[in-house]
């Protein structure tokens, strides 16, 4: 079943055309890794998927509902699409538990009691059940990023978007975050990840999408994309990053 459908999506900032007609279908439970050089439009594509940026043209459909206009309310959108960023963006003066409970209570109107129960579940899932009452500053970067993932999961998204979620971490903390994502993938979570972790893309993604200058330049299985790149641009990118 197709969960995310992107058809001929365009986005410009002023005269700068950043997305020049993106077509992408992501099935339920699929893991798609988006790779490509800095400036190729990867973050903009993810931001259009959760409407942090409004696309100028084309259609985006998530779980059968079009994102254009007011077809999907912010509440509905937040129930469908979760996002985790490079910077963890936790509220520093709130505990881990409060950070995770906030959106379910404020956006979805869940009771505090229900939100707390879900918060404990998702924190357990990311291996941080013992940090419920800690403050972000008391955690390592890897732990903070796992809290950010738990916070996204607390909204029960149908798809989780991850934009370079390990790029701000010290190298020794990258693995713990990737392992959480891998476990989510194994559980059947639909994931769209922008990543520089080529090993992770190769091992965990069902499909790898290479973006270049605002277009999907090449896409395929990890074996195709890494083992048998067809375009000069992808060959060059791979030789630069591997
Ligand atoms: P990537 O994530 O692949 O590095 P981005 O999607 O962040 O690429 O950016 C693509 C291009 O769009 C870059 O040239 C960037 O400077 C530009 N851009 C991104 N966001 C904005 C914005 N809000 N306003 C103006 N230009 C932007
Ligand atoms: Mg980016």
Number of domains in the chain: 1
> Which ipTM score applies to this complex?
0.98
Nearest residue (CA) to ligand 1, atom 7: 43
Quick one: which ligand is closest to 87's CA? 2
Check if 13 has its Cβ closer than 6 Å to any atom of ligand 1: yes
Determine the Cα–Cα distance for residues 110 and 103; give it in Å rounded to an integer: 9
Q: Residue 2: its pLDDT value, please?
A: 95
- Its pTM stands at 0.96
Q: Is residue 224 over pLDDT 70?
A: yes
**205: containing domain:** 2-239
The pLDDT-based confidence of 79 (bands split at 50, 70, 90) is confident
Kindly report the average pLDDT of the chain as a whole number. 95
Neighbours of 79 (CB within 10 A): 17
Determine the Cα–Cα distance for residues 131 and 114; give it in Å rounded to an integer: 18
Q: 135 CA to middle of ligand 1, Å?
A: 32
Which atom from ligand 1 is nearest to the alpha carbon of 194?
2
Q: Are 159 and 27 in contact (CB under 8 A)?
A: no
Q: Is residue 70 over pLDDT 80?
A: no
Rg, C-alpha atoms of the chain: 18
Q: 165 CA to middle of ligand 2, Å?
A: 10
Q: 38 CA to middle of ligand 2, Å?
A: 6
Which atom from ligand 1 is nearest to the alpha carbon of 214?
10
Q: 13 CA to middle of ligand 2, Å?
A: 15
Which atom from ligand 1 is nearest to the alpha carbon of 14?
25
Looking up residue 30, the CATH number of its domain turns out to be 3.40.50.300
Quick one: which ligand is closest to 237's CA? 1
């Amino acid at each position: 079943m197709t969960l995310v459908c992107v058809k001929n999506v365009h986005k410009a900032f002023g005269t700068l055309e950043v997305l020049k007609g993106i077509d992408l279908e992501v099935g339920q439970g699929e893991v798609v890794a988006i790779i490509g050089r800095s400036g190729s439009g990867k973050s903009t594509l993810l931001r259009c998927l959760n409407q942090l940026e409004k696309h100028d043209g084309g259609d985006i459909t998530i779980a059968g509902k079009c994102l254009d206009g007011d077809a999907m309310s912010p509440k509905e959108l937040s129930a469908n699409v979760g996002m985790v960023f490079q910077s963890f963006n936790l509220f520093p003066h709130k505990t881990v538990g409060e950070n995770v409970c906030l959106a379910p209570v404020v956006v979805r109107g869940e009771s505090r009691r229900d939100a707390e129960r879900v918060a404990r579940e998702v924190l357990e899932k990311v291996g941080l059940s013992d940090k419920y009452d800690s403050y972000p500053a008391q955690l390592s970067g890897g732990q903070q990023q796992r809290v950010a993932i738990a916070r996204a999961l607390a909204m029960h998204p149908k798809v989780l978007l991850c934009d370079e979620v390990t790029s701000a971490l010290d190298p020794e903390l990258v693995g713990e975050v990737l392992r959480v994502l891998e476990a989510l993938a194994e559980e059947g979570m639909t994931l769209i990840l922008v990543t520089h972790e080529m090993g992770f893309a190769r091992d965990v993604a069902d499909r790898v999408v290479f973006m270049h200058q605002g277009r999907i330049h090449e896409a395929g299985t990890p074996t195709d994309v890494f083992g048998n790149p067809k375009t000069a641009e992808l060959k060059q990118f791979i030789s630069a990053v591997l």
